[in-house]
Amino acid sequence: MKTAFLFPGQGAQHVGMGKDLYEAFAAARRVFDLAAEASGLPLRELCFDGPETELARTDVCQPAIFTVSAAVLACMDGLLDPPQVLAMRPDYMAGLSLGEYTALYAADMIDFADVLRLVARRGAAMQAAATAVPSGMLAVVGLDEAKAGELCRSAAEGQVLACANFNCPGQVVLSGQIEACRRAEAQAPGFGASAAKMLDVAGAFHSRIMAPAAEQLCEALDAAGFRAPRGRPPSGDRAALAEPEMGQEFASDRTEVISNVEAMPYGCPCRAKQLLVAQLTSPVRWQQSMEYMLAQGVERFYEVGPGRVLAGLMRRINRKAEVICLNSVKAVENLLAGE
Which residues are tagged catalytic?
Answer: 97, 206
Cα–Cα dist 71/249, whole Å: 14
Cα–Cα dist 124/130, whole Å: 10
Contacts of 233 (CB under 8 A, 6+ apart): 239, 246, 247, 248, 249
Strands (E), the chain: 2-7, 92-95, 135-141, 161-168, 171-177, 195-198, 256-257, 298-304, 322-326
Residue pair 119/111 in contact (Cβ under 8 Å)? The answer is: no
Closest CA to 177 of 146, 152, 145: 152
> Cβ–Cβ contacts within 10 Å for residue 86, how many?
12
The two beta strands, 298-304 and 2-7, are parallel
Contacts of 164 (CB under 8 A, 6+ apart): 137, 173, 174, 175, 204, 205, 206, 207, 283, 284
Q: What is the DSSP string of 220-287?
A: HHHT--------SS--THHHHHS-TT----S--TT-EEBPTTTSSB--SGGGHHHHHHHHHHS-B-HH
Q: Interhelix angle for 26-39 vs 112-132, to 10°?
A: 50
Closest CA to 8 of 51, 69, 56: 69
Contacts of 141 (CB under 8 A, 6+ apart): 170, 171, 193, 194, 195, 196
